[in-house]
A and B are shown apart, each in its own frame.
Chain A
C-alpha cells in the first residue's frame, strides 16, 4: 500500500454514499431475487466500489469512503444482517415509493461483520488514502424500524449500540483510523431527551476505541441540541450547512463549539455546482467566528451524494478540492 499524508488543514472528505453504479444496482436486484449468494453479491459490487474510489481519487479527495454501493437503504442493510430483525411489510417513504420497514422481533445481536468488507476493499485500492468506516447509528436504526420486542427504546438502543460496537471493533482491528456514525434521524426530534438517548448509546459504542470518531447528522434544527452534541464522545461532528444557508454558524459560536467540524459546503439536493469562490467564502465565514482553526476544519458535502447525477457529484467534489488547496496556500499550510 502506498502511503498518503493527509494535509495539515482543510482536509477534504465525503459523507459516505455515492451514486449507485449499474453493477451495484444489478447486484442488489439479483440478491433481492435470491439469484446470488451474499458472497457473490459482495464480489459483484466490488466493480462499483472500484469506480467510486477512482472518482474520489480523480477529484483529489483526501479522506474517502467506499460509496456504500452495497447498501440499498441505510437501515435495511444493517437490519438484514443483525440478529433480532425481520424485514417487515411495505411502508411508504414518499409518493408511491415504499420500502420494507424492518421489525425488531428478538434480542438484537451482532452476527458477523456487515460493512467491514466493503471498507477493507476500498482501503486496499485507495492508493494509501484513508477510507472512513461508516455505519448507520443506533438512534436512526431504532427510529426507522418497528419494535415488537423491547419494552423500552432505551433497552433497544443500548443493544443496538453493543452490536454495532462489535462491528466497529472489527473495522478498527483491521486498521480503520476514521469511524463515522450516521444519525440523520436525530435531527427530526431535536429534543434534549432524544439527544441524551443517543449520548448513552454512543458512549457504549465508542469508549476506548483507538480511532478518530465522527458523528454525521443532517437536515434539521440542530441548534436546539448543540450543547448536547458537544458532550458526545466523538472528535468530530459532520454537519450540513450549505442547504440551510449556514444557519447553524452563529449557534456554534454561541455554544463555544470546540470539536473538529466536518463542514458541509456543497448542497447535495441541488444540481447547481458550487463555485470555488463560494466554498472559500463559506470557510472564511466559519473562520471569522474564531471558534476553530483550519486544522480542525474538514470540507465535505452536506450529506451523501447518492441522489446526485455522478457528473455533478464529481464536479462538486473537484471544487471542494480546489478550494481547499487555495485555502491551504492562503493560510500557510502548503
Chain B
C-alpha cells in the first residue's frame, strides 16, 4: 500500500530573526555566508518541527522566498520582476514576472534547495514545490505566447529535475492555483496536462498536483479527470460542500486525493472531530482507498509563525489518527 501522506502544503512564515536578517542582507549589513547561517538554523528548526510532528515528508520551509515565482525568476535569464499584484484572493501581493524572451537557466533552484535540505534531513522523505507552468505563465507579463511560455518553463523544470536526481526528491508538488481561478478555462487544463506529462517523463518520484484558493467552474470541472497525475491535492477547508458535490458529480479517474483539512490561512486551531468529519465526508464520496493523505489547505506563510507551528503539530497528530482509523 502506498504511503498515507501527512505533510504541510508549503512555505512557513518568517520569524522576527529571519525578517531582520533579510533586511540586513538587503542593506548589505550581512554577508552571504552570515545570512545563510541564520537561514539554515531556522530551516533546520522548522524541519525538526515537521519531523517531530511525525509528518511523512519534510517540506522545505522556503523562508528566503519572497513569493512562489521569485527564486526561479532570480535564477533565469530574460525575466525580471515588476510591480506588485494581488495573489489570487489573498491580502498578499507577488511581483509580476516579466519575460522579455524565452527563459533560460542561469542557476539551478531545485538542486540547490534539495542539496541543502538533504544536509538537514539526509534520511527522510522530502517534498519540493514548483509553481505550475500554467499559473506561472498566466500570472506573468510577456509578448511570448502563454502556451509556449508554459512549455518553456516546463522544459527548464525538466532540466532541474534531472540535475537534482541524486538528491532524491521524493515528492514533487506542482502548484497550479490558477486552474481554480474564475478566469481559468478548459484549455488551461489541457495545457497543464501537457506540461505535467513532460514532467512525469523525467521525474520518478511521487508527482502531486496541488490545487487551492478557489474552485473549478463550469466546463473546467470535466477536465479534472484528464489531468495526468495519480495524486491531486485539494482543500476541503473553504468550500467543503461545493467541492464534495463536484467530486460526487464528476469522475476524476482513480486519482488519489491528498486533502487539505487544516486551514493554512486562518489561525483558529481545528479540532480532531472537525477534521475527521471532513475526511469522512470525502470517504463517502470517493471511497477511503482513494484518500491519499491529509495536508494544509494552503501554504502556511500567511499566518503568524506560532500558529504555523501549532498547525503543523496538530496536522501530524490528526494525520496519524486518521491513518489508523481509515485502515482499521
| Residue-wise interface mask of B (253-288) relative to A, using a CB-CB cutoff of 8 A (1 in contact, 0 not) | 000000000000011100000000000000000000
Nearest CB on A from B216, distance (A)? 14
Which A residues are CB-close (under 8 A) to B89?
A: 188-189
**Given A103-B267, A219-B86, also A92-B94 (CB < 8 A):** no
Which A residues are CB-close (under 8 A) to B83?
A: 269
Interface residue A196 (Cβ < 8 Å from any Cβ of B): no
Is B268's CB under 8 angstroms from A148's CB?
A: yes
Interface residue A311 (Cβ < 8 Å from any Cβ of B): no
Is A92's CB under 8 angstroms from B92's CB?
A: yes
Is A188's CB under 8 angstroms from B90's CB?
A: yes
Interface residue A84 (Cβ < 8 Å from any Cβ of B): no
A91–B302 alpha-carbon span in the complex (Å): 6
Interface residue B37 (Cβ < 8 Å from any Cβ of A): no
Is B22's CB under 8 angstroms from A96's CB?
A: yes
Is A91's CB under 8 angstroms from B23's CB?
A: no
The interface size bin for chain B is: 20 to 34
Is B86's CB under 8 angstroms from A90's CB?
A: no
CB neighbors of B among A184-215 (8 A) = 185, 188-191
Which A residues are CB-close (under 8 A) to B90?
A: 188
Residue of A nearest to B303 (CB): A91
Interface residue B311 (Cβ < 8 Å from any Cβ of A): no
Q: Chain B at the A interface: mostly helix, strand, loop or mixed?
A: loop
Interface-lining segment among B11-19, B44-52, B188-196 = B11-19
Is A88's CB under 8 angstroms from B94's CB?
A: no
Is A93's CB under 8 angstroms from B92's CB?
A: yes
Interface residue A275 (Cβ < 8 Å from any Cβ of B): no
Is B267's CB under 8 angstroms from A148's CB?
A: yes
The interface size bin for chain A is: 20 to 34
**Given A103-B267, A143-B91, also A96-B304 (CB < 8 A):** no
Interface residue A94 (Cβ < 8 Å from any Cβ of B): yes
**Given A88-B304, A147-B268, A190-B182, also A94-B93 (CB < 8 A):** yes
Identify A90's interface contact among B19, B22, B84, B94, CB under 8 A: B19
| Residue-wise interface mask of A (92-110) relative to B, using a CB-CB cutoff of 8 A (1 in contact, 0 not) | 1111101001010000000
CB neighbors of A among B1-29 (8 A) = 13-14, 16, 19, 22-23, 26
Is A96's CB under 8 angstroms from B19's CB?
A: yes
A188–B265 alpha-carbon span in the complex (Å): 15
A190–B90 alpha-carbon span in the complex (Å): 13
Which A residues are CB-close (under 8 A) to B13?
A: 90-92
Nearest CB on A from B65, distance (A)? 10
Identify B304's interface contact among A91, A95, A219, A220, CB under 8 A: A91
Complex A-B: 30 CB contacts under 8 Å? A88-B304, A89-B304, A89-B305, A90-B16, A90-B19, A91-B13, A92-B14, A92-B302, A93-B93, A94-B66, A94-B84, A94-B93, A94-B94, A96-B19, A96-B26, A98-B19, A103-B267, A146-B266, A146-B267, A146-B268, A147-B266, A148-B267, A148-B268, A188-B86, A188-B88, A188-B90, A191-B182, A220-B86, A221-B182, A269-B83
Other A-B contacts than A148-B268, A189-B89, 20 sampled, CB-CB below 8 A, are A88-B304, A89-B307, A90-B16, A90-B304, A91-B13, A91-B302, A92-B301, A93-B92, A94-B66, A94-B94, A95-B95, A98-B19, A103-B267, A144-B91, A146-B268, A147-B268, A188-B86, A188-B88, A188-B90, A190-B182
Residues in chain A within 8 A of chain B (CB atoms): 88-96, 98, 101, 103, 143-144, 146-148, 185, 188-191, 219-221, 224, 269
What 8 pairs between A and B have smallest CB-CB spacing? A89-B304, A94-B93, A188-B89, A96-B22, A95-B66, A146-B267, A144-B91, A189-B89
